[in-house]
Structure 1
Amino acid sequence: MMRLESAKTDVSISATVIGDIPATIFRPKDGALGPVVVIAHGFAGSQQLMQSFALTFARNGYVAVTFDFLGHGRNPKPLGGSITAEDGATKALVDETAAVAAFSRKLGDGRLAVLGHSMASDIVVRFAEGTPDVAATIAVSMFSPVVTATEPKNLLVIVGDWEGMLKREALRVVGLASAPEEPQPSVTYGGFAAGTARRAAFSPNVEHASVLFSQASMREALGWLDAAFAVARQKPPAIAGRGPWIMLLIAGCTLLASQLARMLPRLSSPPAGAGLAWRRLWPALLVPAIATPLLLRVLPTHFLPVLVGDYLAAHFLVYGLLTGLCLLWLRRGEPHRFGRGAISPATIVAALSVAAFYLVALVWPIDSFVTSFVPTPARAALVLAMLVGTLAYFLADEWATRGPGSARLAFPASKLAFVVSLAIAVALDLERLFFLIIIVPVIALFFVIFGAFSAWIYRATGQPVVAALANALAFAWAIGVTFPLLDG
């Protein structure tokens, strides 16, 4: 925690509101008026995700401004317009970026640069192309169909080394300006004075999200700004390399959970659960994984004002119901039916205790150092709606993979089946569910973390329902507070 806070050394940070847009201003503590960098987050993100860039820039003489897009973070207004049409949501986000830039110009010496991640890489490119005095554009994990050989000016593309498709796209974009020479990573083509500079940089050992915390990303971005604004440094720059410390903080919270779980009461002896060996379990894994995306092709999934999140809630719900039906069929005629005796006051108290730990040990640090994770009133209602789906899934899944005689590795296999099911859903409806491609790795990471919590809780209590209730709330919370709110 101290190391994370130390990244704010020599930086003055102040929150503000630009119209209805929540924003944060990062200035050098000495009050120097340098160039301004407007920093935009990606899909399902928030301004907290971009803090490492903002802190790095401010510690090195720049003024940085982060903000929450429409429908994201703590922005009270939903995102309006068609997501796929350029004159819809894209135009609204470009206009919002322009409003932030107009406000931000007054904070520095009049010079301006922009940085955007993922979805916002296209937004800042479009804004820069329509704003001639933007001196440099930094696009992180970029996909934008409007880049040309000359626009935007002085373009740096930063991509995680594990983002294969986007690495190819970065080289293609740089190749527009480097032709006929074959573009190479870490090579600058063109010139800053003419506005034709182009460069593709691959940050090692990171992917679509962790690229935002990579020290290599920070160094590339700062070096690009220095070159664009002709800044000569007399000493090494101060880099806000917070990624390892954030991971260490989350690891510490996870380790604490392993110890606190031992304090939970024993609720079922012998341990409860379906106790299915592989020869009986496999239908409960395969049938929901395949049937859910097929059923949701014909069932209505547009029922909440949240992009993609309503589909994800429906996927959890249908998947959980199908798993439950499979368990009833597999255990037909047996004396101990699915869920009998599982719900008791002691179980509820244990689940609430685990949920309280999640709120203190995970929600607060994630909201402080990673992304917006505290729900606004509108999002609190969404969390409750999402909980219907996640409850169905986690109750059925925990029961299916626990119990004496359960198949070895049943728990990770069931999570892999769910991820594969989402992949099938995306393949069947790529236009609508494209953004799930970005979210699936995060869901997989959540399965790993909360899977560990589940194992410790079950070992202590012998009751699958405790972890099912707590983890259902955790996933509903995560979806409800991060996915973009839509207008209507």
Structure 2
Amino acid sequence: MTPETANPHRFGWRLTPARWAVAILALAAIALSVWQLEAERAGITIERVPGTGTTPATVYRLKDAPPAPVVLVLHGFAGSRPLMQASSLMLARAGYAAVAFDFEGHGRNPVPMSGDLASPEGTALLLMAETRRVTDAALAQPWADGRLAVLGHSMGSYIAVRQAPEDDRIAATVGIAASDDGVTANEPRNLLVVNGAWEGRLVADARSALQMADPAAELGQTVGDPAEGTGRRALLAPHVEHVGVIYAPTTLREARAWLDATFGRSSDGPVPQMGGWIVLLLAGIVALGWPLARLRDRTHAPRPVPLSRRRFLVAAALPALAVPLMLAPFETRFLPVLVADYLAVHFALYGALVLALLAWWGEVRWPGRAEAWRILVLAALVAFYGIGIFGLAMDRYVTSFYPIPVRGLIIAAMAAGTIPFMLSDALMVEGGRAPLWRSLTARGAFLVSLGLAVALDFERLFFLLIILPIVLVFFLLFGMMGGWVGRATARPAGAGLGLGLFLAWALGVTFPMFQAV
């Protein structure tokens, strides 16, 4: 029986002892992580806040607790409510009513961001108005006692620092990964700044925010008295960066103590330990992909023929240089999302050029019907694992991953670019069989290409710099998983198509929606 006439549904699972061991350890890591993360939510009421209009808002509070101070929890740029769960759960366990919401353009908020992103008085004013609407709705609930504080991360801290002087109901402000922009010697009152020790410029900003109130103060000292509304404190959470600082125990303990000092309350007990468990959970899901890659079609597919060194280098270098230059003169704004439209076109043209070169050299051939079916089945399995399994963990514990309907168009547009790109990438690295230097060269060339695009039009494409780390992590984690599938099945096209769809989904739900006015 030939591959073209074999039953396309004949699958088997062939595991070596090493793969069995990895499967067992990965499943144990997943189960233990989920158990620990769910334990952090036990006893906490998590429900929708009514009266917030189109803004999705959630309150975290102890079950059957008496009315308590409300703490608004503001996420950062490209974040959403789940990203701030550690803070929300910590506040709820301390007896506060933590109200987290998705800013316009983020998470499950259907309203795009708007205004002038380049002006502090542009988009920020609109986000401040949204914050006030959520504040009004939260303070009107029976679980609110009328007192109010705000805790924000990154962009959220930027909004919080500006909101507090405008709303005299706010008794304290906690800025996580905060800059000193907008901070004065007296405003906002009762300000706590906690930045990561690995955050570069923000280390100096933490010191500056403190020393505006007292030039002689050092990080870790408290100036003034939080009980009197004159407190200010700034410190660094050790061994963490811009995202890790959200989960750092130092951050959570300091925020709780600061709010307790402000409101005359006393809280104790451990703070949520979520960061490490989230990492273990996601690592377990990725690691499980190695043994699962052996769930394979029993029919044989020929191993891809490696490109010659010269052809490989041409296929890696030519699109990397040509695509940014070809797109530089053209306007690519056709989606209500920051730079996603450019990125989709960049992906599409880059992949098309590589595929065109491979076809010209006779390196790719259209498969027969049976083989095409096997490739599509494999692609569906890869996409399901990324979106359905990895995505489920992301959506519950990290950040919103399942989109509202309006984002379907964004995902479709991204897929038109990511699918040809990831297909070309899979063929370039021979389904994971190519030497490591080839994988590094092919994927590094694409990152260089995006960097060149930003350099050619920095003002318009600046936000691509935020996406670069996401693409790099995708290559490191899911490029590796694609290699496992490609080596196990000898069908790189299936892995490439599946990963292309997953990448489109991940980018489509991450990009903030933006509509210029």
For normalisation by structure 1, the TM-score amounts to: 0.91
What's the offset of the Cα at 1:24?
0.6
SS at match of 2:123: helix
CA contact (8 A) 2:81 2:399 kept: yes
- Compared CA separation, residues 277 and 195, structure 1 to 2 (3 A): farther
Alpha-carbon RMSD across the aligned residues, in angstroms, is: 2.3
Structure 1 counterpart of 2:296: 264
Counterpart of 1:109? 145
Q: Which of residues 227, 231, 247 in structure 2 aligns to 1:197?
A: 231
Whole-angstrom distance in 2 between the partners of 1:267 and 1:444: 34
Secondary structure of the equivalent of 1:409? helix
CA distance in 1, matches of 2:380, 2:189: 54
Residues 108 and 403 (structure 1 numbering): CA distance in 2 closer, same or farther, change over 3 Å?
A: closer
C-alpha distance in 2, partners of 1:231/1:471?
Answer: 50
Moved more, 352-361 or 421-430: 421-430
User: What's the offset of the Cα at 1:63?
Assistant: 0.9
Secondary structure, counterpart of 1:178 in structure 2: coil
The 2-side partners of 1:425 and 1:141 are apart by: 28
The structural deviation recorded for 1:364 is 1.3
Distance, in Å, in 1 between the alignment partners of 2:192 and 2:432 is 56
Moved more, 27-36 or 88-97: 27-36
Local SS of the residue matching 1:74 = coil
> Could you tell me whether the CA contact under 8 Å between 1:277 and 1:406 is conserved in 2?
no
* Aligned AA (1:281): F
Shift in Å at residue 477 of structure 1?
0.3
1:50/1:404 CA distance change after superposition, 3 Å: closer
Structure 2 contact 44–89 (Cα < 8 Å) conserved: yes
Residue 303 of structure 1 deviates from its aligned partner by 1.2
Q: Distance in 2 between matches of 1:12 and 1:191?
A: 33
**Counterpart position of 1:380:** 408
1:437 matched to 2:465? The reply is yes
1:303-318 matches, within 5 Å, as 303-318=334-349
Cα deviation for residue 325 of structure 1 reads 4.3
Q: Secondary structure at the match of 2:222?
A: coil
Query: Conserved in 2, the CA contact under 8 Å of 1:267 and 1:346?
Result: no
SS of residue matched to 1:314:
helix
Please give the per-residue CA displacement for 1:299-347, whole angstroms capped at 9, x wherever unaligned. 2221111112222222222322333345456xx3xxx433543871111
1:351 to 355, 379, 383: 379
1:270-419 matches, cutoff 5 A: 270-272=302-304, 275-276=306-307, 278-327=309-358, 332=361, 336-341=362-367, 344-402=372-430, 406-419=434-447
Query: In the alignment, what sits opposite 1:174?
Result: 210
* Post-superposition CA distance 1:66-118 (Å, at most 9, x none): 01111211112222222223443221111000111112223422221111122
1:241 aligns with 2:273: yes
Q: Secondary structure at the match of 1:291?
A: helix
Letter in 2 for 1:116: G
Structure 2 counterpart of 1:71: 105
Q: Distance in 1 between matches of 2:106 and 2:201?
A: 26
Please tell me the residue identity of whatever aligns with 2:294. Answer: R
User: Deviation digits for residues 346-365 of structure 1, max 9, x if unmatched?
Assistant: 11111112222223211211
Give the unaligned 5+ runs of structure 2.
1-33
Deviations 1:345-388 (A, max 9, x none): 11111111222222321121111111111111111121111101
Change (3 A) 1:292 1:139: farther
Shift of 1:177: 2.1
The superposition leaves residues 247-302 of structure 1 with CA deviations (integer Å, 9 ceiling, x where unpaired) of 121122112221111012266643125x2355542333333333333333222221
- Any idea what SS the aligned residue of 2:394 has? helix
Name which of 15, 23, 30 aligns with 2:48. 15
**Secondary structure of residue in 2 paired with 1:116:** strand
Instruction: Flag the 1:51–1:328 CA change in 2: closer, same or farther, 3 A.
Output: same
Letter in 2 for 1:483: F
Once residues 327 and 433 of structure 1 are traced to their aligned partners in structure 2, the CA distance between those partners, rounded to angstroms, is 30
2:151 matches 1:118 = no
Is residue 2:255 matched to residue 1:221?
Answer: yes
User: 1:77 corresponds to which letter in structure 2?
Assistant: V
Q: Does 1:95 align with 2:129?
A: yes
Assess if the C-alpha contact under 8 Å between 2:433 and 2:483 holds in 1. Answer: no
Q: Secondary structure at the match of 1:476?
A: helix
Against the structure 1 CA distance between its residues 238 and 406, is the aligned structure 2 distance closer, same or farther, given a 3 Å change threshold? closer
**Does structure 1 conserve the Cα–Cα contact (< 8 Å) formed by 2:320 and 2:445?**
yes
Shift of 1:144: 5.8
**Paired position in structure 2 for 1:134:** 170
Q: Which segments of 5 or more consecutive residues in structure 1 lack a partner in the other structure?
A: none
CA distance in 2, matches of 1:405, 1:247: 28
CA–CA distance in 1 between the matches of 2:335 and 2:327?
15
Identity of aligned residues (%): 42
- The match for 1:5 is 38
Cα 1:20–1:35 change in 2 (3 A) is same
2:496 is aligned, of 450, 468, 473, to 468
| Amino acid in the other structure paired with 2:291 | Q
Contact 1:42 1:117 in 2 (8 A): yes
User: What is the distance in 2 between the residues matched to 1:168 and 1:326?
Assistant: 49
- Asked whether the 8 Å contact 1:40–1:67 carries over to 2, the reply is yes
- Which AA in structure 2 matches 1:477? W
> Could you say what secondary structure the match of 1:14 adopts?
strand
- Does structure 1 retain, via aligned residues, the 8 Å contact 2:139–2:145? yes
The equivalent residue for 2:221 is 187
Aligned partners of 1:153 and 1:197 also within 8 Å: yes
1:423: how far off? 3.1
- Distance (Å, rounded) in 1 between the aligned partners of 2:38 and 2:281: 12
- What is the deviation of 1:232? 3.1
Q: Structure 1 residues 290, 220: CA separation in 2 closer, same or farther (over 3 Å shift)?
A: farther
Q: C-alpha deviations, 1:371-418, integer Å up to 9, x for none?
A: 111111111121111101101211111111217984433223322332
Question: What TM-score do you get using the length of structure 2 for normalisation?
Answer: 0.86
Q: 1:403 to 1:30 in 2, by over 3 A?
A: closer
SS in 2 for 1:13: strand
**Which residue identity lines up with residue 179 of structure 2 in the other structure?**
F
Partner SS state of residue 293, structure 2: helix
Tell me the number of residue pairs that the alignment of Structure 1 and Structure 2 aligns.
478
Post-superposition shift, 1:168? 2.4
SS at match of 2:453: helix
